[in-house]
Amino acid sequence: MMPHVQLAESALFLDVDGTLVPLAPTPEDVYFDSTLLNLLSSLYEATQQALCLVSGRDQRSLESLCQPLTLPLVGCHGATGHLPMTGKHWAVPINQAQHHCITQRCKEWCQRKAGLRVEPKSHSIAIHYRQCPQAEKLVQGYLAHLALQHPDYALLAGKSVFELRHTAFSKATAIAHLMSQPPFQHKRPIMVGDDRTDEVAFDWVNQHQGISLYIGTQGPTCAHYSLPTPHALIKQLQDWLFFSAGVSPSR
């Protein structure tokens, strides 16, 4: 049973791929249709601007998805962020030469492997194997080897993707940072995500009397609630809007 939520008293943190929208063959194939954009706009207003998309995507990719909306966004698993209401931008400092070197090694390695795709980001490097699922262990082993060579980086596992992320940040550190300032401060945190990259954020929210919501049917997860699909989440978010407005949702 999903809890009732008063959005004006909530800080809403939403992952993107596999959460708000279904997973696609490539990140570039994902888009926000007008229904989703209108929903996000309504949620932004209902939460009094305490809505933020928290994604592993690069910051520019998030901004492109949300156009023409200007929303609070956290990219690269917490490394970058933008709060439009204050004009604040941030990016965790990293060794750019080291990051470039790791990215180039991943590109060169994947060029020799059919069906693999590198997604270089400002603060992480992802290798997707959705088109070549039999390469899962191969990709995991290669990136684990790179992580041993570069202890500042940790291996993250997503859905048909492995990623090297700098250890100085996470989705949890980003949410903790946002919850310390307006308009998120003194509200109940709600984190919604769909894979293992969201577990640290679920754990942080659980420790701070919030609501953690996992989208999918594959476990295990430390989230306290779950819904099977992004479509079910959209319906739930619409119900929270109705509840917050004192209106009974139509069925």
The candidate with the shortest Cα–Cα distance to 79, out of 197, 162, 251, 190, is 197
Domain map of the chain by residue range? 7-92+169-244, 96-166
pLDDT tens for residues 9-30? 999 999 999 999 999 888 889 9
pLDDT tens for residues 55-107? 999 999 999 999 999 999 999 999 999 999 888 899 999 999 999 999 999 99
Q: Which pLDDT score is estimated for 249?
A: 64
Buried b (16+ CB within 10 A) or exposed e, 15-51: bbbbbbbebeeebeebebeeebbebbebbbebbbbbb
List the Cα angle 196/230/115 in 5-degree steps: 60
- Known catalytic membership, residue 239: no
Given the residues 15, 17, 58, 195, the one annotated as active site = 15
Instruction: Report the topology of domain 96-166.
Output: Alpha-Beta Plaits (3.30.70)
Cβ 79 vs Cβ 60: under 8 Å: no
pLDDT tens for residues 121-180? 999 999 999 999 999 999 999 999 999 999 999 999 988 999 999 888 999 999 999 999
Mean pLDDT, rounded, of the chain: 94
The domain covering 7-92+169-244 belongs, at the CATH homologous superfamily level, to HAD superfamily/HAD-like (3.40.50.1000)
As a whole number of angstroms, the distance between CA 87 and CA 172 comes to 22
As a whole number of angstroms, the distance between CA 19 and CA 5 comes to 18
The candidate with the shortest Cα–Cα distance to 53, out of 64, 41, 62, is 62
Amino acid found at 100: H
Under 8 Å CB-to-CB from 4, ≥6 apart: which residues? 240, 243
Cβ 62 vs Cβ 55: under 8 Å: yes
The pLDDT of residue 251 is above 60: no
